[in-house]
């Protein structure tokens, strides 16, 4: 069965500092990979996705993620965080088929301090 692990429940970073959120997956084959952000009172918003090709994926809001097949990881990064980046971040995987069901990690809460 596929699974997604986000090892960090909560991360606190200073504004302007870099951020890295970890995501590891367990799957029989390389899945489709996604990162979503959830701000209070708002729905999940897609930050970026990886289907194939370049393993470094650029997303919205200055985020990027790198797919590493050897480590079964898809870590999310941002060079310099803004206070508005404080939110819940979810990694998700989906199968390479028409079975379009996403499996989500438990999420990482990011707090940004001034």
Partner 1 sequence: GAVVSQHPSWVICKSGTSVKIECRSLDFQATTMFWYRQFPKQSLMLMATSNEGSKATYEQGVEKDKFLINHASLTLSTLTVTSAHPEDSSFYICSASAGQGLYDEQFFGPGTRLTVL
Residues that bind partner 1 (CB under 8 A): 4, 9, 32, 36, 41-46, 51, 90, 94-96, 98, 100-107
Q: Which residue has the tokens 């799957």?
A: 27
Question: Which residue, 94 or 112, is less far from partner 1 as judged by CB?
Answer: 94
| Shortest distance (Å) from residue 33 CB to partner 1 | 10
As to burial, measured by CB atoms within 10 angstroms (0-12 exposed, 13-18 middle, 19+ buried), residue 104 is middle
Give min distance, CB of 80 to partner 1, in A: 24
Are 48 and 109 spatial neighbours (Cβ–Cβ below 8 Å)? Answer: no
Measured from the CB atom, the residue of 19 and 31 that comes closer to partner 1 is 31
Which is nearest to 83 in space by CA: 49, 113, 63, 45?
113
CA–CA dist 61, 87 (Å, integer): 13
Closest approach of partner 1 to the CB of residue 44, in Å: 4
Which residue's CB is nearer to partner 1, number 15 or number 86? 86
């Amino acid at each position: 069965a596929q699974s997604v692990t986000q090892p960090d429940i909560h991360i606190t970073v200073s504004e302007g500092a870099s951020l890295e959120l970890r995501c590891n997956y367990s799957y029989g084959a390389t899945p489709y990979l996604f990162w979503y952000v959830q701000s209070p009172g708002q729905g999940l918003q897609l930050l970026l996705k990886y289907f194939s090709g370049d393993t470094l994926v650029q997303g919205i809001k200055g985020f990027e993620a790198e797919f590493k097949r050897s480590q079964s990881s898809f870590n999310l990064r941002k060079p310099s965080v803004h206070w508005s980046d404080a939110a819940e971040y979810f990694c998700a995987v989906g199968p390479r088929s028409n079975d379009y069901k996403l499996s989500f990690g438990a999420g990482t809460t990011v707090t940004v301090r001034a």
